[in-house]
Chain A
Amino acid sequence: MNIVVCIKQVPATTEVKMNKDTNTIIREGVESIINPFDMYAIEEALRIRDRLGGKVTVMSMGIMTVSDQLREAIALGADDTILVNGREFAGSDTLATAYALSMAIKKIGAVDLVICGKQATDGDTAQVGPSLAEKLGVPHTTYVRKIEDIHDGYIRCQRMTEDGYEVIEMPLPAIITVVKEINEPRLPSIKGMMRSKKAIIAIWNAENIGADKCRCGLKGSPTQVIKTFTPVHDIKSESIEGSVDEQAFRVIEILSAPPAAK
């Protein structure tokens, strides 16, 4: 089974602290990590490989420092890593990202399964996985919480829905995006860590993957951010005092009243 896992470097959100005076995020000293959902994607790929044999390639598009995250993937057990890198990719929205990743995956060739995390914790879009599937012309299933069966040319998995889950089967090659429930990621092994230090990360630019530069980066991105702002949490806070029964009475009164405007 030839598996590609797409990961993203994100700021370590556990480190995010709010500045109480200015209500902004304190970002100094925030380190970068593998997007938490992508850890489940890597783990699932490793488990399939360990069971069925094959190869796990972990890929990312980003700046050179993303090498750190790719080395971490090797420490976890990935066989190969590719960094799609170049100024021509800067400013990519989800469409341009999906296009670039699709060209890189086509260059690898003969890929059976692509696994992505459900979404990244910085952009929270959840769009690259399905968009990438479309660019590759393969089926996809999102929010996968369990792979029930996988073998040559076939996958059956469970997709988490609002009400429960669905059992879905697809032919391979295909793309799945995974949720946290699917597994518990392993820790890097000593052997893996040794290997990661020496590993060579393939760096591919737009020419290497045969990408049309008009479809990459800012130029290839139909969406543009025109404004960003910190949300104003103008909250009128009321502390409900009194005995437990009085507090409960007051809360039920609030719940019974017509909904308060935002």
Chain B
Amino acid sequence: MAEIKIILDKCLGCRLCIKACPYNAIKVEDKKAYILENCILCGACLGSCKFKAIELLKDGDTEIKTDVSIYNGVWIYAEQKNGVVSSTAFELLGVGRKLADKLKVELSAVLIGSSVEAQVNILAAYGADNVYIVDHSSLVQFNDESYSEILVQLINNYRPEIVLISATTYGRSLAPRVSSRIDTGLTADCTSLDIDLEKRILMQTRPAFGGNLMATIICPDRRPQMSTVRPKVMKPLEPDQNRKAVAIKPEVDIPDSTSIKVLEIINDLSEKVNLAEADIIVSAGRGIGDPANIKMIQELAGLLGAAVGASRAVVDAGWISYNHQVGQTGKTVSPKVYIACGISGAVQHLAGMSSSDTIIAINRNPEAPIFKLANYGIVGDVLEVIPAMIKELKKRL
């Protein structure tokens, strides 16, 4: 049976591994470390030991392996809504281009939908060498069943070595369905991707424990290597309209009917921008004092072209719907600018927004934890600062 083993001769009982273990599964007694029963073999301790006293023993039995040599090329799944490719697809092309160039292979986009052919040029402009198009009237709306069925067929027929999918609502539903069918690995919500050129494998880095721990994950023996990628983190290339892509219409069996049926699609966000796609998020916390003040937050967001977020306290109080909640039990966001208004910054909230590029915090309490993460902090009353910001913005219209 696989196990983590401490080489007692090398262990000095320094306790570094205890700090590294996310599961409290190591104890030190008489200056030697011991692995406890609750170890889940996550491997977090392996790199922490300066004395190489921890090793992961694997079983000798043959593991399931794919012939990796017949898999070639980098694929991105280009999510679309209403026939228009989402901006997250351009982000995937940005990072996919980098990976493909390192591996010296082609970068392809997979486009599934109805009347989506016009989107080929824009995918080319953002870096795709090939676009696989599956266009059918029955595919107008994302459907877990038909879309996963088609993507599995394409992967099995064309064998890409890497498949990237955006970690959106649809992407995080589609990707595990597909990887499970193919029996390959999938790494969720990656924030950094790179290639180990020596081994020609994908290094996938992602946050866990609400962003308090980063892990680099590989999928060495099975193909394709699949990742979902956190929206807004990867940078798209500058679009070049002169770039051309080869449009490929692969032969696939499109399911005649699906058991899953999408009956209705309701867009009930009061704002024009959603949290996942917003460049700026204005987020309200308990410090706004009164549900009526949500209007002020919405006005500021409207002027900035921003989405409205909220802390758990505000959602639980019923001041705004759950769809707006940012944090561990809400959404994880990575906008360019996150403006925290009257949010103290509980660990659970920080988990949902700490990967924002720039954080601006406005709070009355100078000791609020949010200021530790903020690039810009204003100690003051949100009910005074926000109206002043609105006034300033209106002056510039």
Contacts and interface: CB of A to CB of B under 8 A. Distances in A.
Interface of A: 11, 13-14, 16-18, 22, 24-25, 27-28, 30, 36-37, 62-65, 87-88, 90-95, 98, 121-135, 139-143, 145, 156, 159-171, 179-181, 213-215, 217-231, 233, 235-240, 244-245, 247-249, 251-252, 254-256, 259-262
A259 B358 contact: yes
Interface in B229-278: 259-269, 274-277
Interface SS of chain B: helix, strand, loop or mixed? mixed
Nearest to B211: A231
Given A139-B259, A219-B2, A244-B384, A166 B304 contact: no
Contact of B329 (A37, A236, A247, A254): A37
A228 B389 contact: no
Nearest to B173: A142
B319 interface: no
A260 B375 contact: yes
Interface in B315-341: 322-323, 325, 328-330, 332, 336-337
B209 A122 contact: yes
A95 B186 contact: yes
A132 B2 CA distance: 24
B215 A227 contact: yes
B260 A139 contact: yes
A218 B42 CA distance: 9
Interface string B193-215: 00000000001000111111111
Contacts of B177: 130-131, 133-134, 140
Given A235-B375, A252-B392, A180 B329 contact: yes
B391 interface: yes
Contact of B37 (A64, A141, A164, A262): A64
B99 to A, nearest CB: 17
B189 A245 contact: no
A129 B379 CA distance: 43
A165 B268 contact: yes
Contact of A27 (B22, B183, B264): B22
B28 interface: no
A135 B178 CA distance: 11
B322 A181 contact: yes
A163 B274 contact: yes
B356 to A, nearest CB: 9
Contact of A244 (B19, B269, B380): B380
Interface in B108-127: none
B373 A233 contact: yes
B347 interface: yes
A28 B330 CA distance: 27
B329 A224 contact: no
Contacts of B62: 214
Given A25-B213, A166-B265, A252-B392, A239 B360 contact: no
Contacts of A168: 260-263
B1 interface: yes
Contacts of A226: 43, 47, 203, 216-218
B188 A124 contact: yes
Given A166-B262, A219-B2, A248-B391, A134 B217 contact: no
B144 interface: yes
Tell me which of B56, B169, B263, B325 has the highest count of chain A C-beta atoms within 10 A of its own C-beta.
Answer: B169
Nearest to A28: B24
Given A95-B185, A134-B181, A259-B358, A227 B207 contact: no
Contacts of B372: 233, 235, 237
A168 B373 CA distance: 39
Contacts, number: 329
Contacts of B385: 244, 247-248, 251
Contact of A139 (B21, B47, B145): B145
B188 A127 contact: yes
Contact of A13 (B23, B210, B376, B389): B210
A226 to B, nearest CB: 5
B370 to A, nearest CB: 11
B222 A222 contact: yes
A245 B218 CA distance: 51
B261 A169 contact: yes
Tell me which of A28, A36, A221 has the highest count of chain B C-beta atoms within 10 A of its own C-beta.
Answer: A221
B388 A248 contact: yes
A38 B136 CA distance: 38
Contacts of B168: 162
A61 B185 CA distance: 19
A129 to B, nearest CB: 8
Tell me which of B173, B328, B358, B393 has the highest count of chain A C-beta atoms within 10 A of its own C-beta.
Answer: B173
A64 B210 CA distance: 25
17 contacts: A11-B23, A14-B348, A16-B209, A64-B37, A94-B176, A123-B188, A124-B207, A124-B332, A156-B263, A167-B264, A169-B261, A214-B62, A222-B185, A225-B217, A226-B218, A230-B213, A252-B392
A219 B3 CA distance: 11
A128 B180 CA distance: 9
B217 A11 contact: no
B263 A223 contact: no
A88 to B, nearest CB: 6
Contact of B275 (A28, A121, A162): A162
A25 B209 contact: yes
A260 B108 CA distance: 31
Contact of B213 (A162, A224, A228, A254): A228
Contacts of B277: 162
A251 to B, nearest CB: 6
A62 B37 CA distance: 11
